[in-house]
């Protein structure tokens, strides 16, 4: 009999609805690939919740196990680059989209998706960071590469209690930036300050005056996770020569804007995609997250859950209720 493993399985029902359950599957159901990995930890990202809801922009093939993140040990390898027993992390590519993902005790993937776990990082720490934290790191790196420096002024972070936002605050503070956090959860102000935000403002305050073609110059840079009117307002209030990163759409995928911030203030809008991030910058950034950007308060970001508790967490993240990062523990020993 082939090995059975536990996973969260999303199934398409006849009425175009989707069901979610924790069940056993055979390893034979996993796709072909170079590396079979026993997963220690995964993490919950917004995109996983979309996949778990059957959103066709994320996942089209069902039954399906979501989970765009996984870290664990290689148990079978068809690659000279990876040996049995190596610890690896995987984020993005097709993992958890149409390839069975990290919400299962095993994954099988092409070797080109695997990152050897950097020294000084555990599988648990890697998954506290996960796709959200890696995207935060890409965003902060993009600001730095664009020339934004702490002496230029404040950095605005939107969606700040979320996975990307919370890690971005901590990385920016660690890099010496003064951070202003925008949140819809006023009660989380102390948490955001503990991560390194020097000021916490409401979503509504960001939109004050946003009907005007341009707003008062405030931000040296912006890490935006939410899109829509918030991103438009952030761009309109970015200072001369500032950089704005765009990675997410929790508020809206639309962006209604004029060209003035770009042609009158030289503002740059920088797109961030962690999914297809090429391996060279990917390795460089993970090495940085394990060294000069290693956050010593990683446990402060985390709510840990089991596969069985994921169902509720998926509902919570879709409702914008999650704070920080949700770590999924798949360890069986
Ligand atoms: N481009 C990429 O490679 C990449 C990678 C990772 C994530 N993403 C995207 O980035 C976004 C954030 O991801 P995440 O993992 O940080 O998600 P998350 O943990 O769910 O956080 C999103 C945050 O957005 C804010 N928010 C939620 N609904 C909102 C609304 N209607 N209006 C305004 N703000 C709202 C909330 O923060 P507050 O309550 O504090 O305001 C929420 O905590 C998602 O759209 C995700 O798909 C993209």
What residues have CB less than 8 Å from 130, skipping those under 6 apart? 42, 43, 45, 69, 91, 163, 325
Task: Read off the pLDDT of residues 251-285 as tens digits, 9 standing for 90 and up.
Answer: 999 999 999 999 999 999 999 999 999 999 999 99
Task: Read off the pLDDT of residues 278-324 as tens digits, 9 standing for 90 and up.
Answer: 999 999 999 999 999 999 999 998 999 999 999 999 999 999 888 99
Report the percentage of the chain scoring pLDDT > 70: 99
* Helix boundaries (H) for 218-278: 228-236, 260-265
**Prediction pTM value:** 0.96
Phi and psi angles of residue 131, each rounded to the nearest 5 degrees, phi first: -60, -45
Atom 11 (ligand 1) nearest CA: 248
**Which residue has tokens 């901590």?**
170
pLDDT at position 320 is: 86
Task: Read off the pLDDT of residues 142-188 as tens digits, 9 standing for 90 and up.
Answer: 999 999 999 999 999 999 999 999 999 999 999 999 999 999 999 99
Could you tell me the domains of the chain? 4-117+297-329 (3.90.180.10), 131-271 (3.40.50.720)
Kindly give the number of the ligand 1 atom that is closest to the alpha carbon of 50: 47
- What is the spatial distance between Cα 219 and Cα 224, in angstroms, rounded to a whole number? 12
Task: Read off the pLDDT of residues 29-84 as tens digits, 9 standing for 90 and up.
Answer: 999 999 999 999 999 999 999 999 999 999 999 999 999 999 999 999 999 999 99
Mean pLDDT of the chain: 96
- What is the spatial distance between Cα 127 and Cα 102, in angstroms, rounded to a whole number? 10
- Whether 135 lines ligand 1, by a CB cut-off of 6 Å, is yes
Rg (CA), the chain: 20
pLDDT at position 16 is: 82
- Whether 161 lines ligand 1, by a CB cut-off of 6 Å, is yes
């Amino acid at each position: 009999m082939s090995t059975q493993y536990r996973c969260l399985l999303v199934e398409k029902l006849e009425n175009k609805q989707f069901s979610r359950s924790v069940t056993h599957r055979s390893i034979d159901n996993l796709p072909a690939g170079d590396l079979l990995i026993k997963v220690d930890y995964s993490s919950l990202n917004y995109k996983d919740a979309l996949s778990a809801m059957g959103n066709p922009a994320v996942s089209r093939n069902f039954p399906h196990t979501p989970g765009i993140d996984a870290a664990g040990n290689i148990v079978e390898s068809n690659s000279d680059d990876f040996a049995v027993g190596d610890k690896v992390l995987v984020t993005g590519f097709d993992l958890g989209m149409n390839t069975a993902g990290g919400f299962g005790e095993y994954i099988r993937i092409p070797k080109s998706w695997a990152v050897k776990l950097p020294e000084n990082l555990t599988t648990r720490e890697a998954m506290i960071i996960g796709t959200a934290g890696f995207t935060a790191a890409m965003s902060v790196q993009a600001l730095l590469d664009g020339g934004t420096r702490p002496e230029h002024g404040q950095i605005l972070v939107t969606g700040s209690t979320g996975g990307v936002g919370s890690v971005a605050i901590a990385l920016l503070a660690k890099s010496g930036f003064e951070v202003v956090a925008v949140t819809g959860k006023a009660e989380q102000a102390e948490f955001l300050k503990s991560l390194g935000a020097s000021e916490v403002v409401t979503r509504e305050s960001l939109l004050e005056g946003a009907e005007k073609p341009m707003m008062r110059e405030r931000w040296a840079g912006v890490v935006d996770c939410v899109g829509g009117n918030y991103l438009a307002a952030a761009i309109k209030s970015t200072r001369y020569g500032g950089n704005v990163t765009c990675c997410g759409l929790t508020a809206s995928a639309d962006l209604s804007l004029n060209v003035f911030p770009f042609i009158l203030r030289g503002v740059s809008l920088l797109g961030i995609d962690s999914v297809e991030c090429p391996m060279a910058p990917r390795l460089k950034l993970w090495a940085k997250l394990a060294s000069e950007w290693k956050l010593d308060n990683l446990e402060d970001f985390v709510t840990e859950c089991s596969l069985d508790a994921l169902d509720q967490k998926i509902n919570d993240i879709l409702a914008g209720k999650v704070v920080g990062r949700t770590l999924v523990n798949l360890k069986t020993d």
